[in-house]
Chains A and B, each alone.
Chain A
Amino acid sequence: MNLSNHTPILILAVPLLAAFLIPIIGKINKKATGIFATLVLGLSLIFTIILAVKILSVGPQIYVFGAKSPFLTLPSGLKFPIRIMFQVDAMGIFMGLITALVSFLGAIYSLAFINKNNGVDNYYSLLLLLTVSMFGMEFTGDIFNFFVFLEIASMASVSLICYRGTDLGEPVEAGFKYMVVSSISALMVLFAVGIFYGEYDVLNIAAIASVMKHSQLDKIALGILVSVLAMKAGAVPVHMWTPDAYSEAPAPITMILVVASQASLYAMFRVVFSLYNITLNTLAVGWIIIIFGLLSMFIGVTMAIIQKDIKRLMAYHAISQTGYMLLGVGVGLAVLANPTALQRYGITAMEGGIFHIMNHAMYKGLLFLTAGALFFRTGTRNLDKMGGLAHYMKYTTIFFIIGAAAIAGLPPFNGFASKILIYESVYKFNPLLSIIAMVVSILTLASFVKVFHSAFLGPKLPQFKEVKEVPRSMVLAMAVLSCIIIFFGLFPDLIVKNLVHPAVMSLIEQFKYTNTVLGGM
């Protein structure tokens, strides 16, 4: 029983077992739950790295549950798989790495951020369950299993948004809005699963992709899935829940929620690329996703400039940055049909979009952590009440500068690396789009200069006399994120060549996705 071909499930099952044990450990002593959760998330981060190295060297990994051997996809005598399986390819493990890293840092950050008096074991149990559900959404190869993990993700994130809701009213209202949106989206995903099951009597994504006849019903199922998953990812038509949910949740949870909505964005890419690929007319669907992206970019940044609350401002920026990803991958999808255009700029556009998911998770996480640090010390999120904090909180100021420079796309940082890929490839596709993208980037820089000025600069305010730097575990989490941002910014092609490019190729080549399952490897 060598451990290496059981890694996909160990990444997920060990934190799940820990989440079930935490209420028992919480009864023994409260402090142990935080450290236990952090250790378990560190362990699953190590397993993710092992799996990533294996996938990038050997190829997509399959793990079938309950079969005689982890690779036996087709039981004797049947053309289609009947058991649930994990199908982890380069794109899945790319998202898995982000999830593992961000949740590990979130656990470290919340060791000091969450006060220890009551409900700590519930908090860490929900944190572990949210991480497990994101892993499940990214690794699974079965649609119904994806619906179950989507539901766990929305339940865990709603409970975490309402975590501060016992004595404050706003978190519960924000949680209720998010709950209604994610309930509708989960039920519509289930309706689409019902359509696929009714037509083809098969539930495995690769099997459905191979047997897809693209009838009238499949177009409707595609329409439902794309619109609902875009809603869950926070694209514009239904983005009202994002600022409320991100501003009311505790800071480390907001960082993980950003990655949770990227997981449903990944699911949308999986549906469009691995389930439908060439069968749908890619130009029309590509343009729809581009329009989603443009709207998100523009409305996100224009709403962000007028915000007073620092976390709402960053939440609107999260929407506008999601617009960049949609733009990049939308251009890649639009030219999927003609191979020449695809080779010329389609692949670089998708590389920019997908690399932007990683970068966005890093610098948006860092910005939310700095906002959490300000809230932790000053107790307020309103920009007008803050001022002159640079004098007291040296490290947080440096981290904020790094994060703001990265989101605005200034050269030495990772935001620039992915945005330049998007600009130059989208320019070849349609110059107007990349001009809008640049304008939005400039507006982002403007709004963050405003935040920097009103929160950090200015004279020493009397009421912040006793404010001092945040505890070490919070500084450690922010420091790790800043090092990653600078490292990605200085050596972008190292990451793009051997992490992002395989992910893009695994999305584009649908036949490889289906052969690994139906080829009966």
Chain B
Amino acid sequence: MKEMSKIVRNVTNLVYGFIIIFGFYIIAHGHLTPGGGFQGGAVVASAFALLLISYGQLKAKKFLNINIFSLLESCGLTMFIVVAFLGLGTTFFYNFLANSGSWFGHMVIPGINPGDMNTAGVLPLMNIAVGLEVFAGLGIIVLLMADGAEFTKKKENS
């Protein structure tokens, strides 16, 4: 894919940071507001797709490296299953941090409340783990399919 015009590239330079931050916001507030690991991860991956399209496939490969993504993805998934394993004291997916006063264990005021980040035990950890896995994974898919599209276009011209 050739890179797009200068205007698009400049706008992308301005915008992609905010998209990534918004994606992390959705991941981190998964247990309070609508959203969570998957939705936030998809938003961050859309920022990578934007970079890939505006800078073209060759240039984008410099700063969107597949090996880092695959490492990130494996770490995210391992963190997710290790958090699930930590509950093995009682059962596999036990929420041992909820209402326990430690990391994310504040008591929740029942009924409608403004929402306190420090609640819901294991859920924020899992949200972050899944968010990490999804945006790295979708990043890999976007990059690989761009390579594939590049290859099929070469076959068309020849």
Contacts and interface: CB of A to CB of B under 8 A. Distances in A.
Q: Tell whether any CB of A sits under 8 Å from a CB of B in the complex.
A: yes
A11 to B, nearest CB: 12
B71 A20 contact: no
Contacts of B70: 23
Nearest to A17: B81
Contacts, number: 53
Given A17-B85, A23-B70, A24-B71, A66 B92 contact: yes
Nearest to B81: A17
Interface residues of B, number: 21
Contact of B85 (A13, A23, A27, A66): A13
Given A13-B85, A16-B81, A21 B94 contact: no
Interface string B66-103: 01001101110110011011011111111100000000
Contacts of A13: 81, 84-85, 92
Contact of B88 (A1, A27, A64, A69): A1
A66 B94 contact: yes
Interface in B15-68: 67
A21 B88 contact: no
A69 B90 contact: yes
B157 to A, nearest CB: 20
Given A13-B85, A66-B87, A20 B77 contact: yes
Nearest to B70: A23
Interface in B95-133: 95
A67 B96 CA distance: 11
Contact of A9 (B67, B73, B74, B92): B92
Contacts of B74: 20-21, 23-24
Contacts of B92: 6, 9, 13, 63, 65-66
Contacts of B67: 27
A226 to B, nearest CB: 32
A492 interface: no
A68 interface: yes
B25 to A, nearest CB: 26
Interface of A: 1, 6, 9, 13, 16-17, 20-21, 23-24, 27, 63-70
26 contacts: A1-B89, A6-B91, A9-B92, A13-B81, A13-B84, A17-B85, A20-B74, A20-B77, A20-B78, A21-B74, A21-B78, A23-B71, A23-B73, A23-B74, A27-B71, A63-B91, A63-B92, A64-B91, A65-B91, A66-B87, A66-B91, A66-B92, A66-B94, A68-B94, A70-B90, A70-B91
Given A27-B71, A69-B90, 8 more contacts: A1-B89, A6-B91, A13-B84, A20-B81, A23-B71, A63-B92, A64-B91, A67-B94
Interface of B: 67, 70-71, 73-75, 77-78, 81-82, 84-85, 87-95
